[in-house]
């Protein structure tokens, strides 16, 4: 844990990214849903492997893939609801194939924060139905009071901003909020809002990768928070 003198325990609300922060999901179900949407809605046979996905949003991934293959249509947004519908339906249909592996100490951390009366939310680039499904399969859904998703917000900072708004609607305008995420994009989004963020290296990015973005606190796993 980086020694910054930062007291991570003092906040009223904690907003967590999902993928790589709370859990890692195997089985390719969410991944394959992008290809169904690209093919059936946009007529694009390409894959999302060639575009950034970690720290991106579901809408942003679709857009980036279409741009990569030179097939971004002028009516991208108009077709987006159908693409999202297909993605949600495919994930629901194949949910049994999803393997959700919790990141270290997550269940213990969430239980501790709950005992202390903290407000808990998720801020994620996932579509809402997909994000909640992952948390249900991982046994985490009941820990969370609310979530901010990418169904109508493409930029990560807008998802984070909406998460803060939701927290303050529930607890009041003076509610203090801390973000927890595993990508440089999470750290930058929090910085854009001028808010504290804990970078946790349980996704694809190393501790050093995250530390370069100057999060308020940088840790290797959430087990370090439990030990504090």
What share of the chain has pLDDT > 70, as a percent? 98
pLDDT given for residue 160 in this prediction: 98
Burial class (CB in 10 A: 0-12, 13-18, 19+), 96: exposed
When pLDDT is cut at 50, 70 and 90, the band that residue 227 belongs to is confident
pTM score: 0.95
CA distance 212 to 194: 17
- The answer to whether residue 17 scores a pLDDT higher than 90 is yes
**Dihedral angle at the C-alpha atoms of 89, 68, 149, 1, nearest 10 degrees?**
120
pLDDT of amino acid 3: 52
Superfamily designation of domain 8-26+99-227: HAD superfamily/HAD-like (3.40.50.1000)
pLDDT above 80 (res 2): no
């Amino acid at each position: 844990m980086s020694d910054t003198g930062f007291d991570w325990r003092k906040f009223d609300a904690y907003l967590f990214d999902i993928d790589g922060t709370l859990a890692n999901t195997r089985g390719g179900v969410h991944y394959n849903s992008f290809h169904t949407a690209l093919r059936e809605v946009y007529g694009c046979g390409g894959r999302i492997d060639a575009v950034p996905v970690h720290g991106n949003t579901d809408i942003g991934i679709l857009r980036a893939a279409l741009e990569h293959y030179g097939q971004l249509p002028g009516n991208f947004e108009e077709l987006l609801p159908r693409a999202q519908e297909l993605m949600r339906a495919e994930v629901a249909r194949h949910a049994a194939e999803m393997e959700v592996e919790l990141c270290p100490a997550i269940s213990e951390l969430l239980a501790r924060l709950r005992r202390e009366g903290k407000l808990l939310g998720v801020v994620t680039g996932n579509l809402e139905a997909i994000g909640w499904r992952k948390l249900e399969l991982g046994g985490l859904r009941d820990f969370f009071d609310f979530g901010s998703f990418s169904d109508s917000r493409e930029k990560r900072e807008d998802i984070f901003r909406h998460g803060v708004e939701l927290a303050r609607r529930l607890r009041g305008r003076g509610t203090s909020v801390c973000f927890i995420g595993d990508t440089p994009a999470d750290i930058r989004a929090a910085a854009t809002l001028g808010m504290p963020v804990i970078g946790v290296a349980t996704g694809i990015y190393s501790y050093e990768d995250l530390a370069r973005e100057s999060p308020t606190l940088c840790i290797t796993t959430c087990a370090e928070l439990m030990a504090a």
